[in-house]
């Protein structure tokens, strides 16, 4: 099961797992959001089923997981990928925005993991859980408070779940992407550029390539790590947060927050 698999990182992971022979429950809020993923998997000869639920609704999550487990006959791999990002400094952030970010990025993965917990225990050794975290979990920059808190909490939850499920042979890890080329990244940069009066292309290119390799990272790089972690080759890796970011660690890539870079570019 891969949550948030309609596009971006989630879609790449779902398609990659299907290519390796997994039958994938492709999660989205509506059928239209995951249609392209299902079509791509089935068009390539893979097998997939839709898994529809609003992750803000606990009852919907439980129903979706129950139906998916019935269809799949169990669960060997769970990828908690779905997430949102809003960058706002504290005075501008409403409690509603804070709650929505934490509910989507932290509470929903807990609820999904809780719903399928017995199935993972039943699968035992060979089963694997992955959380898509972020290098922003360690970010200490203006505007990142809610998002960083949600991802930091996700990594902490991952460690605790790894200890619980480890007794059953189930491995649990996080993948922490840096800036990845996705619709979310584009929309976020457009918003920041517009707010600061900065050129979008310049800001986008500076941030997206703000890593030691000066590389533009794509979603398939995260999918490759996911496939490795759930495979036999990753059989002794658990309770780890593995960064895929081209060497973009907190404090590298030009320094300063994304908003500060937008303002600097506006000044140029």
- d(Cα 123, Cα 72) in Å, to the nearest integer? 12
Strands (E), the chain: 23-28, 47-52, 77-80, 128-132, 171-177, 241-244
- d(Cα 67, Cα 231) in Å, to the nearest integer? 25
Pairing status of strand 128-132 against strand 77-80: parallel
Identify whether 117 is a catalytic site residue. no
- d(Cα 171, Cα 234) in Å, to the nearest integer? 9
Q: How far is CA 208 from CA 55, 135, 141, 151, 176, in A?
A: 28, 13, 17, 19, 15
- The one catalytic residue in 117, 147, 157, 204 is 147
Residues with catalytic annotation? 147
């Amino acid at each position: 099961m891969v949550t948030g698999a309609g596009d971006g990182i989630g879609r790449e992971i779902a398609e990659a797992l299907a290519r390796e022979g997994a039958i994938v429950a492709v999660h989205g809020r509506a059928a239209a959001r995951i249609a392209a993923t299902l079509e791509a998997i089935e068009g390539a000869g893979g097998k997939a089923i839709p898994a529809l639920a609003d992750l803000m609704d606990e009852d919907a999550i439980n129903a979706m997981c129950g139906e998916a487990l019935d269809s799949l006959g169990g669960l060997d791999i769970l990828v908690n990928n779905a997430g949102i990002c809003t960058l706002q400094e504290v005075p501008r952030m409403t409690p509603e925005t804070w709650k929505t970010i934490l509910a989507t990025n932290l509470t929903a993965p807990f609820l999904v993991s809780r719903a399928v917990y017995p199935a993972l225990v039943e699968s035992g050794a060979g089963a694997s859980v992955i959380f898509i975290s972020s290098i922003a979990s360690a970010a200490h920059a203006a505007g990142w408070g809610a998002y960083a808190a949600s991802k930091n909490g996700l990594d902490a939850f991952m460690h605790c779940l790894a200890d619980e499920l480890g007794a059953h042979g189930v491995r649990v890890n996080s993948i922490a992407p840096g800036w990845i080329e996705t619709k979310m990244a584009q929309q976020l940069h457009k918003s920041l550029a517009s707010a600061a009066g900065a050129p979008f292309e310049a800001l986008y290119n500076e941030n997206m390539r703000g890593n030691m390799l000066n590389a533009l990272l794509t979603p398939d790089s995260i999918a490759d790590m996911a496939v490795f972690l759930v495979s036999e080759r990753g059989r002794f890796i658990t309770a780890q947060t593995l960064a895929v970011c081209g060497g973009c660690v907190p404090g590298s890539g030009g320094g300063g927050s994304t908003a500060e870079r937008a303002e600097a570019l506006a000044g140029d």
